[in-house]
Amino acid sequence: MIPHADQALNLLARRLTTALVPDLKSDYAQADGMLTGQLMTVLAAELGYGIERRMQDIRAMQELFVAAALQLSDEPLTQDLVRLSGLEPTSLTLNEVDAAHDELTRGLLALHERVDLPESDSEPGRDERQAINGMIWAYLESHAARHQMPD
């Protein structure tokens, strides 16, 4: 086991881009080597913080589902949101965290489909659905900020 895999991958990427790539003969090989080094750097960041970021997403989606369930009168949807709000990964491995994250994301998409309304909609509950839609967009903005690629 490599105790600090993210640091090791960063060191390998740095060596690739500073020591090996400059000695390559063709422009294509140099560009390919630089891209490989950049991808290794992104992978290193993912190894270092990927699970934490996904767990932050999971917590944020769970909070959103609780808040949405309190505002909706649709009983089956509310029950599903309550179930999703308690969903936890079975372990902290990347595969299990990804599985929980994916299930919650599918639930978020289904909820968004139910609350994203055309401007002309005047059905009862419109204000609640608009509020939930706003919460979803706020979550998506925070998600995008958390998952930005490193410079």
pLDDT at 119: 63
Q: Is residue 120 part of a domain?
A: yes
Q: Is residue 139 part of a domain?
A: yes
Q: Is residue 111 part of a domain?
A: yes
pLDDT at 112: 94
pLDDT at 67: 94
Q: Is residue 151 part of a domain?
A: no
Q: Which domain holds residue 51?
A: 5-146
Q: What's the total number of domains in the chain?
A: 1
pLDDT at 121: 61
Which of 61, 16, 54 is CA-nearest to residue 35?
A: 16
Q: Is residue 94 part of a domain?
A: yes
Per-residue pLDDT tens digits of the chain, which is 151 residues long: 566 777 888 888 888 888 888 888 888 888 888 888 888 888 888 877 888 999 999 999 999 999 999 988 778 888 999 999 999 999 998 889 999 999 999 999 999 998 887 665 667 777 888 899 999 999 999 999 998 876 6
Show the 3-state SS of 60-120.
HHHHHHHHHHHHCCCHHHHHHHHHHHCCCCCCCCHHHHHHHHHHHHHHHHHHHHHHCCCCC
